[in-house]
Amino acid sequence: MPKVFPIYEQRYIELIRNADTKDRLDFALKYIDSVLELFIEYGNKPNSSSHLFMILKQGLRGWKKICRYDIVVHTDDEGYEYLIEPQTYPDYVLIRFLGVAESKSQFNAMKVSLIKIFKHLNYKYNEVGTYEQFNGIEER
């Protein structure tokens, strides 16, 4: 399937591959941010719901291309290497979206919408808890 939306994973592949190990995950997340920026841009247009799903699918295809390079983002004390993997895409999308919620009601609305989107795209949804738990705020 040809590219439909301007998502350019190749520049991120080069940035990630040539960066220091400690910076690679940040560049990978910037790729996801670019997908989400496009998602938001098209989300503000009328009758764009099918486009939103296509953007996330195209973003996943680009993420899989990034993952083909076996990019190490962390090495622990025992020498185990942690790579960027295709199945982490939905988790990063979820975290990046919910991370911009400014209130509990906005967080809950986003969460409901994302559950519907994930169900439609057959992505696994990992529960993130309440607004307070997600942001590390203790409930009183």
Report the sign of the C-alpha dihedral through residues 126, 128, 91, 74, in that order: negative
The answer, yes or no, to whether residue 138 has pLDDT greater than 70, is no
Instruction: Collapse the DSSP code of 50 into the 3-class scheme (helix H, G, I; strand E, B; otherwise coil) and give the result.
Output: helix
The answer, yes or no, to whether residue 30 has pLDDT greater than 90, is yes
pLDDT at residue 68, as a whole number = 92
Instruction: Collapse the DSSP code of 74 into the 3-class scheme (helix H, G, I; strand E, B; otherwise coil) and give the result.
Output: strand
pLDDT at residue 101, as a whole number = 85
pLDDT digits (tens, 9 = 90+) for 46-95: 776 778 888 899 999 999 999 998 888 888 899 899 998 988 899 999 99
Q: What is the mean pLDDT of the chain?
A: 87
CB 62 within 8 A of CB 14: no
Residues 80-89: contacts with CB within 8 Å, 24+ apart? 84/16, 84/24, 84/25, 84/28, 86/60, 87/124, 89/32, 89/59, 89/60, 89/63, 89/64
CB 5 within 8 A of CB 38: yes
What's the length of the chain?
A: 140
Its pTM stands at 0.83
Which residue blocks in the chain are alpha helix, DSSP H?
Answer: 9-18, 21-43, 49-67, 89-98, 104-121, 131-135
Rg (CA), the chain: 16
